[in-house]
Amino acid sequence: MIILKEKIESLDKLYRTNFINSLSGFKSANLVGTISKEGKTNLAIFNSLIHVGANPPALGFLMRPVSVERHTYNNIKETGYFTVNHINKEIYKQAHQTSARYDKDVSEFDECTLTPQYTEAVKAPYVKESKIKIGCRFVEEQEIKFNGTIFIVGEIMEVIIPDDVVAKDGYVDIEKAGTIAISCLDSYHDTKRITRLSYAKPGSEPKEIWNVD
């Protein structure tokens, strides 16, 4: 079927939310950990986190600085730090539960039975149960004028990762680490690698790369 903008605007709100949220494809599944200047921890699930650059290393994610995401935003602005923690198969239900509208004084770590973990380099709590963890320093925010969302950029200061998921060429086997994917707002997906493909060049077909160890 073909659905035009006018039809989309006339859809029931919940239907439209599910439908439009499905259209970008698969999404990353991460928990963003922060702490307020008073020392209250916060944890929130985000499915909009993307790669921003490798040199200097940076990540970014889109947020609505209202509702449940406001605590994350305020903490990042107060302390200048946040952590990114991959959601794996063992913790996806707890991760999902962080999206409930808890009061500012309540820590999602406690309510969702996840464990804060700290390092010297980063002023924000990691999630101990996550296997791949990235500590970031807040460097920039850009408001999307079209709808008031904010793209937050963090420079990667620290990476905590199991030795056995990093291949010789730097490729990280996130599947082996149990990292999952999200679609729509509430759908969680396991993955199975089809293959890696070699660097594309005009005039030659990409080859499959199997040596990911």
Interactions with a second copy, residue window 69-88 (CB under 8 A):
84, 86
Name which of residues 151 to 190 contact a second copy (CB under 8 A): 151, 153, 155-163, 166-167, 169-172, 174-175, 179-181, 183-184, 186-190
Nearest to 73 by CA among 31, 42, 109, 108: 42
Considering the complex, state which of residue 37 and residue 93 has its C-beta at the smaller distance from a second copy: 93
Q: And the tokens for 172?
A: 């990280």
Considering the complex, state which of residue 116 and residue 157 has its C-beta at the smaller distance from a second copy: 157
Q: Which stretch binds a second copy (CB under 8 A): 36-44, 69-77, 91-99?
A: 91-99
Please, what is the Cα angle at 123 between 106 and 66, to 5 degrees? 45
183: burial class by Cβ within 10 Å (0-12, 13-18, 19+)?
middle
Q: How many CB atoms lie within 10 A of CB 195?
A: 10
Nearest to 43 by CA among 76, 66, 89: 76
Considering only 38, 199, 210, 211, the residue that binds a second copy (CB under 8 A) is 199
Considering the complex, state which of residue 38 and residue 55 has its C-beta at the smaller distance from a second copy: 55
Considering the complex, state which of residue 74 and residue 106 has its C-beta at the smaller distance from a second copy: 106
Site string for a second copy, 102-141 (x = CB under 8 A): x---x----x-------x-x----------x-x----xx-
CB of 34 to a second copy, least distance (A): 18
Please, what is the Cα angle at 38 between 74 and 68, to 5 degrees? 35
Name which of residues 18 to 77 contact a second copy (CB under 8 A): 18-30, 47-60, 62
Considering the complex, state which of residue 62 and residue 79 has its C-beta at the smaller distance from a second copy: 62
Q: And the tokens for 127?
A: 């999630």
Q: For the chain, give the number of residues.
A: 213
